[in-house]
Amino acid sequence: MRNMKMITAVAATLLLSGGAAYAASAEKGKVAFGKNGCWQCHGWEGQGGNAGPKLARTQLPLEAVMTFVRATNGPMPPFSKKVLSDEDLTDIYAFISAQPAPPDPKTIPLLAR
């Protein structure tokens, strides 16, 4: 009986601490995006550039982004946990996901003919 209580307590602690998702911050993500040089290829807002595709409002789930950034062996260099922590990458994900949609071109006077 005593053991049961112990197990329940441990399980509850795990659920409340280890199991709790990291609270991502788009603001911190913007800083990490700059610090880690993602902007050099993807643009400051993740809008895409000459050297990297658009990341803003990515449709990829966080897990896919994590896996890709850690293990890419294509034109993008991989970022290990040593140089970019899971927390920072989760913040970066929040930052690129929070980018606003671009305005409708019809609403931009310069583009009107």
Does 76 help bind ligand HEC (rule: CB under 6 A)? Answer: yes
| Residue owning tokens 């902007």 | 39
Of the candidate residues 3, 4, 5, 74, the single one contacting ligand HEC (CB under 6 A): 74
Cα 16 vs. chain centroid, distance in angstroms?
A: 23
Cα angle: 108, vertex 112, 113; to 5 degrees: 170
Residue 53 beta carbon to ligand HEC: minimum distance, rounded to whole angstroms: 5
Count, in order, helices (H) and strands (E) of the chain.
5, 0
Does 37 help bind ligand HEC (rule: CB under 6 A)? Answer: yes
Does 25 help bind ligand HEC (rule: CB under 6 A)? Answer: no
Contact region with ligand HEC (CB under 6 A), list: 1-9, 16-24, 63-71, 99-107: 63-71
DSSP letters for 38-66: THHHH-TTS---SSS---TT--S-HHHHH
Does 56 help bind ligand HEC (rule: CB under 6 A)? Answer: no
Residues that bind ligand HEC (CB under 6 A): 36-38, 40-42, 51-53, 55, 58, 60, 65, 68-69, 72, 74-77, 79, 84, 92
